[in-house]
Amino acid sequence: MKAFQGLTEQETNDYLLSTGRTLKGVVKPLSPLEVMEYIQKMLDSGLTKNEIIALSPFGKDMWVNHYVRFNKLIPEIQALADWGKTSLSTLGFTAVWHYYRFSDEDQKYLYKKALEHRLSRDQVKEIAQFYERGFGSIEKCFEETLSWAPNKETYTLFIGSLVNEKLVSNLKNIKQLDKDLFLDKCLSEYFDTKNTPDSRLLDKKYTIIFKPEESEFYTKIKNKNFDKIISESLLKEINKPHE
């Protein structure tokens, strides 16, 4: 396959697999953020929007979602976005389309609530509609929408920071799938279990979401200088020789 302008042959293949139809049993190699970054590389190389749309499996409407709206999201939401529905550790791609309608501060509030309560795409859309109609603050719009939903479990969201500059630098060249595998392995070693809490490794931060029955894990990291512990563990894991 001929490489697209601005991308290598491997990057072109990954881009096409990640922007095409979702196939059962096939994992998309790129995250939504990485797709946006690849689009930016093609734009920087001189390709126009229409040329990229012609090369891509998606149409003009998805260009808006993959690039235009995605560019308006705060970095935390961009990094947490993933294909499919909102999970314990990620924000569903179709749900994050609506976050651009909020201010940066309100995006920051809402994504945390979305993870803690596993808000669906429709719930995020409803919050955005209340917000744009002047119903009230983001807190009031969220509480109103949540009051309509059946009672669900509430999860504990832990957001930590990576405190090693070398680690942060190394992560820039690692795909999201691999980042998450590294973090999961480090958490498995720290908690001494294969059944680790759901997590996501960002460029400068990391998130861990604890189910109610995982409270003992949360106790093990709370107020334990865990940022330093996990940063050192990640750097060691990343620098190991891998096949």
pLDDT at 66: 85
- CA dist 189 to 38, 43, 186, 198, 238, Å? 34, 42, 5, 14, 14
Distance in angstroms (rounded) separating the CA atoms of residues 127 and 110: 9
pLDDT in tens, 104-113: 999 999 999 9
pLDDT in tens, 19-70: 887 766 678 999 999 999 999 999 999 999 999 999 988 777 778 888 888 9
| pTM (2 d.p.) | 0.85
3 state SS of 201? strand
Q: Where are the domains of the chain?
A: 1-72, 78-154, 156-238
Token duo for residue 222: 């709370």
Distance in angstroms (rounded) separating the CA atoms of residues 70 and 119: 19
pLDDT in tens, 123-135: 999 999 999 999 9
Handedness of CA 224, 227, 232, 235 (dihedral sign): positive
pLDDT in tens, 179-212: 999 999 999 999 999 999 999 999 899 999 999 9
Closest CA to 38 of 16, 60, 20, 23: 16
For the beta sheet containing 205-210, the strands, ordered from the edge strand earlier in sequence to the opposite edge, are: 156-161, 205-210, 198-201
Q: Are 197 and 208 in contact (CB under 8 A)?
A: yes
pLDDT at 1 exceeding the cut of 70: no
